[in-house]
Structure 1
Amino acid sequence: MRIQSSSVLVAGISSAFGVGLLQVTGLLAAQVEADDVTGSSHTVALLLAVLAWVFILIAVYVGAVVTSNTFATIVAGRARQIALLRLLGSTARRQRRAIAREGLLAGASGAVSGALAGTLLAFVLARVALAVGWFRDVEYSYLQPGLLFPLIAVVLTTWLASWIGSRRVLTVTPLQAIGGAQELSREEAMDRRGRNILSLVLVILGGVLLLGGVLLGLISPVAVLIGVLGGILSFTGLVLGADVVMPPALRIVGRWFGRSAPARLAAENALRHPQRSSRATIGLVIGVTLITMFGVAMASFADVIREQQRTQPEVYQGTEQMLTVVTAVFSVLIGFSALIAAIGLVNNLSLSVLQRTRELGLLRALGFSVRQLRRMILTESAQLTVTAIVLGLILGTVYGWAGAQATLGAVAKGFVAPGIPWPILAAIVLAGAALTAIASSTPARRATRVTPVTALAVD
């Protein structure tokens, strides 16, 4: 099987995210040590180190989830091809090994190219910061042993994601070679009790750890690591239960688009194919959650630091410029997650149209016009985007405030008021509208090419 460019791209972006993050935090650490004021502040150095590890853990986690989601989508799209190979004598285990080998190669090539891109990005950011006077000209080596961590993590997570995502190969039968790719129904998704119970347990356990991080943050900023673990566990529970949680949310949002035939069909598709809907949505939820979390955390961080500057100017003098640099640099790095989310949404919508050739042809045969088909695809894209944005904004605000509280509770000596980054929230909404148009354009063109005769030709 050939290596999918989408999986290589996701692995490359994940690697660039992690390597760029390490390079940038290394550069910031060098700047902090060279500064006469911040270099003597143990609080600033500790916060920077904690934030570095928090973002590294987030980078590895996001890469793993998105890569697994990508390979699950790839396998779903290849169900008929795999069934045909089974019909010709190939075994399911052989097909699964081929997909896992593809994941390993995609992870390796993406990790190397991403590492180079992340290092180049960090170098460019450092040069720009130096040119505008944000950075001093200090000695720093871009060849750090720690850079192997994101490289190895991306390769391993991509390989594991391909192996986990290819589990469905074991259930593909040769008879499916004469049919279309089948997704789990709503009833089948609800009937996976073991997975759903595990999802609920992870959400509850993650919530408890998140609360523990918030309370312990009143004592030490290291408590944010407990909060990060809680956030990862709770979000993993959401990902595992996405097949159950996302379709009803998508259906509710779908009702906002009216009661026309295309709008009703778009809303019902979310329930009829929960796996396809959740795969298309969860990547965007991750992107919006990360951006919102970062925005809320940095806004809260800035509010606390400015308050401390007012009460303890001798300790926090000069940190305003460093805060501006940190915000600008991490804004660029977090932008990678939005790019990954956009790729996932476009890939899943395109795959959705390819898998539904017979359905679209039948709609044409029943009287649906080209315009109605285009409107249905656009509505599906819009409801996916709106649902992901709403859920991501809620989760991002909670996680962002919890992270800020766990990190800064001891510094602020009390509870931290959540900062609201209105420019970032406005940018998310505008980007969501643009993504809806972009993600639906190619699938809509494919849908409008489907003729009534195709409904009889497929299957």
Structure 2
Amino acid sequence: MIAMLREHASTLIVSALSALFAVTLILFTGILTAAIDPAVIEESGTFRAVLMMVALIFIMIALYVGAIVTANTFSTIIAGRTRTIALLRLVGASSARVRARIAGEGLVAGLVGGVAGFGIAVALCAAVTAWGPQLGWLPAGRDYPLFDPLALVAVGVVALTTWAAAWSGSRRVGRVSPIAATGAAIELPAEQSRRRPARTVWATILLVTGAALLAIGIVLGLMTPLALLISFLGGILSFTGIALGAHLVMPPLLRLSGRALGRGPSGRLAVANAVRFPERSARSTIGLVIGVTLVTMFAVALASYETMTLQAFAHSPALKAGLAETLAVTTAVFTGLVGFSAVIAAVGLVNTLSLSVLQRTRELGLLRVLGFTGAQVRRMVLVESAQMTLTALGFGLLLGVFYGWAAAQSLLGSQAGLMAPTVPWPIIGGVAVFGLVLALVAAAAPARRAIRVSPVAALAAQ
């Protein structure tokens, strides 16, 4: 039971954060609508619709990140359950039945996490509406809603998304044969990982289609702001292609970053481990790539948006000053919203690395028998974490700058023309520092666990 709770801790946290994010946005949209002057609402009948559209985009982003992190988590869980699954197959259980059982675990975890997130979101909104008028955040004497049927829909979507992610992550169950009952955790080596034509073809199709839609959105952005919707779809498709083909994309990047870290026996072994099993490394890094990409994308998009907007209204100093203040508040709000997705991605990295080390007990014990000290094993785990984090940071920053520029260009290209991206270096520096701290935090517990087990006990582990 403890092992199962440990396995699904990440899924529970991710689903709770996703539900908290979605429900909070939905309820705050209603609260914000109630706080706005009724005359403004009456004059602009589309005000709530626009707010809900923006909220929907952020909700979709949070669900998207949560689904990928959950799918990666369940893929790691399946790799560690190879022996148990093989034994079930040996006594007659079909792969479909075993897979349905695993997907059921995902559904339960999604429901529990979704309900927890819903409760926290309602409590948070209740606190804001209770204290907001006293603190001057909200107008007094208004009837602020604390329930919206869409909030329940959001919880249901979180649960279904978690179930679908668990089903997707358990797809390798069908490849576990009864003979595998004699082994432990199984990961596909580099050669077999590359020989997956269907996955490679789909990744290529999504990447090419998404890139084409991004190009179309940028061009159409010179004529209409609605091109942002096309670019948004292109960004989702292209990044999905990158995530689906991560087993091909990440190993070369890991090799590149490994050259800076792979010194000494522990460092060289850590670099080799990251490349030897591309799927395991891809699962560990792609979640953080998503978080870094999102934060960077919105930071660059908002900075570019501010530059373009202020340039478009440069002829009116008063309007320009008002816009600058509004944009500053908007940037702070959006940064907080995107931070939720970054936290989800960080949880995925920490949990995947922890599960990976837990499932490699025999391997680590063999290293101790061959003469590795506890300090060398700990350093190997730390270097693996640093290598994955460094790779995810570099790749995510590049993707984020491009996606952020594409979003701003699609939205405001018709007003400002074609412009270079505005890069907010303080935020980029903050993302880099966060990544370095995360690398140490993510590796701390697994590193302690790696040296806590004696070599003899580790070799006896199943």
Does the TM-score normalized on the shorter chain lie above 0.5?
Answer: yes
Q: CA deviation at 1:126?
A: 6.5
Partner of 1:100: 103
CA distance in 1, matches of 2:56, 2:370: 56
Amino acid aligned to 1:112:
V
CA 413–436 in structure 1, closer or farther in 2 if over 3 Å, else same: closer
Alignment equivalent of 1:16, drawn from 8, 13, 20: 20
Give the gaps of 5 or more residues in structure 1.
none
1:55 aligned partner, one-letter code = F
- Compared with structure 1, are the counterparts of its residues 33 and 326 closer, same or farther at alpha carbon in structure 2 (3 Å cutoff)? farther
CA deviation vs aligned residue, 1:416-443 (integer Å, no higher than 9, x gap): 4422222221211111111111111111
Structure 1 partner of 2:439:
436
Q: Report the CA distance between 1:385 and its aligned residue.
A: 0.6
1:196 is the counterpart of 2:200? yes
Question: Which range moves more in the overlay, 48-57 or 294-303?
Answer: 48-57
Note if contact 1:15-1:150 (Cα within 8 Å) is conserved in structure 2: yes
Change (3 A) 1:368 1:160: same
8 Å contact from structure 1 (residues 381, 436) kept in 2: yes
Q: Aligned pair 1:427/2:430, yes or no?
A: yes
List alignment gaps of at least 5 residues for structure 2: none
Distance 1:99 1:321 in 2: 50
Q: Which residue of 2 aligns with 1:7?
A: 11
Q: Name the CA shift for 1:259/1:226 in 2 (closer, same or farther; >3 Å).
A: same
Cα deviation per residue 1:365-385 (whole Å; 9 max; x = unaligned)? 222111111111100000011
TM-score with structure 1 setting the length: 0.90
Relative to structure 1, is the Cα distance of residues 33 and 49 closer, same or farther in structure 2, using a 3 angstrom cutoff? farther
Question: Structure 1: which amino acid aligns with 2:110?
Answer: G
Matches for 1:357-376 after TM superposition, within 5 Å: 357-376=361-380
1:302 to 306, 325, 331: 306
Q: Is the 8 A contact 2:213 2:234 kept in 1?
A: yes
Task: Kindly provide the CA deviation profile for residues 249-287 of structure 1, in whole angstroms up to 9, marking residues without a partner as x.
Answer: 112101101431111111111221111100100111111
Q: Return the alpha-carbon distance in structure 2 between the equivalents of residues 418 and 46 of structure 1.
A: 29
Is contact 1:20-1:333 (8 Å) kept?
Answer: no
* Partner secondary structure for residue 217 of structure 2: helix
| 2:120 alignment partner AA | A
Matching residue within 81, 85, 90 for 1:82:
85
Corresponding residue for 1:382?
386
Number of the residue aligned with 2:254: 250
Contact 2:65 2:345 in 1 (8 A): no
Contact 2:405–2:421 (8 Å) recurs in 1: yes
Which amino acid letter does the alignment assign opposite residue 340 of structure 2?
A: F
Preserved contact between residue 309 and residue 416 of structure 2 (Cα < 8 Å)? no
Deviations 1:292-345 (A, max 9, x none): 111111212222333344334676774444433332222222211122122111
1:222 counterpart = 2:226: yes
CA contact (8 A) 1:104 1:156 kept: yes
SS in 1 for 2:226: helix
Is the alpha carbon distance of 1:131 and 1:186 closer, same or farther for their aligned partners in structure 2, counting shifts above 3 Å?
farther
Q: Separation in 2 of the partners of 1:229 and 1:124?
A: 36
Write the letter of the residue equivalent to 2:460: A
Instruction: Decide whether the 8 Å contact of 1:41 with 1:315 is kept in 2.
Output: no
Which amino acid in the other structure matches residue 339 of structure 1? V
User: How much has 1:118 moved relative to structure 2?
Assistant: 3.0
- State the one-letter code of the partner of 2:70: T
In structure 1, how many angstroms separate the alpha carbons of the residues matched to 2:397 and 2:126? 32
How many residues matched? 457
Q: In structure 1, which of residues 60, 64, 71 is the aligned counterpart of residue 74 of structure 2? A: 71
**Aligned match for 1:181, one of 185, 192, 213:** 185
Measure how far apart 1:290 and its partner are: 0.8
Aligned to 1:52: 55
Contact residue 125 and residue 146 of structure 2 kept, 8 A = no
| Percentage of identical aligned residues | 50
**Is 1:172 aligned to 2:188, yes or no?**
no
Change (3 A) 1:290 1:449: same
Structure 1 residue aligned with 2:215: 211
> What is the 5 A alignment of 1:444-459?
444-454=447-457, 456-458=459-461
CA contact (8 A) 1:405 1:416 kept: yes
**Do 1:32 and 1:45's aligned partners in 2 also have CA atoms closer than 8 Å?**
no
Query: Which deviations, in whole Å up to 9, do the C-alpha atoms of 1:188-229 show, x marking residues without a partner?
Result: 111101211211111111011011111222222221111111
Distance 1:220 1:442 in 2: 51
TM-score in terms of structure 2 length: 0.90
Distance across 1 between alignment mates of 2:297 and 2:198: 30
Task: Quote how far apart the aligned CAs of 1:21 are.
Answer: 2.4
Greater CA drift, 85-94 or 250-259: 85-94
> Is the aligned partner of 1:333 residue 2:317?
no
Change (3 A) 1:409 1:68: same
Query: CA 1:304–1:119 in 2, change beyond 3 Å: closer, same or farther?
Result: farther
Question: Any idea what SS the aligned residue of 1:255 has?
Answer: helix
| C-alpha contact (below 8 Å) 1:32/1:39 kept by paired residues | no
Distance 1:130 1:251 in 2: 55
Tell me how far apart the structure 1 counterparts of residues 83 and 268 of structure 2 sit (CA, whole Å).
29
Partner amino acid, structure 1, of 2:111: A
Question: Are the counterparts in 1 of residues 385 and 439 from structure 2 also a CA contact under 8 Å?
Answer: yes
Q: 1:12/1:126 Cα in 2 relative to 1: closer, same or farther (>3 Å)? A: same
Contact 1:47–1:221, Cα closer than 8 Å, also in 2: no
How far apart, CA to CA, are the structure 1 residues paired with 2:420 and 2:35? 29
- C-alpha offsets along residues 39-62 of structure 1, whole Å, 9 cap, x if unaligned? 968999887565334323322322
Tell me the distance in 1 between the aligned counterparts of 2:328 and 2:14.
Answer: 29
Q: CA shift at 1:65, angstroms? A: 1.7
Residue 400 of structure 2 is matched in structure 1 by 396
Instruction: Name the CA distance, whole Å, in 1 between partners of 2:198 and 2:386.
Output: 32
Correspondence 1:118 to 2:136: no
* Residue 10 (structure 1) shift: 0.9
Contact 1:24 1:329 in 2 (8 A): no
Q: Which residue identity is paired with 2:113?
A: G
Q: 1:262 to 1:161 in 2, by over 3 A?
A: same
Matched residues in 2 for 1:45 and 1:157: separation? 26
* Aligned amino acid, residue 285 of structure 2: T
- Note if contact 1:134-1:325 (Cα within 8 Å) is conserved in structure 2: no
Partner of 2:162: 158
Change (3 A) 1:234 1:422: same
Closer/same/farther in 2, CA of residues 456 and 159 from structure 1, 3 Å limit: closer
Alpha-carbon offset, residue 237 of structure 1: 0.4
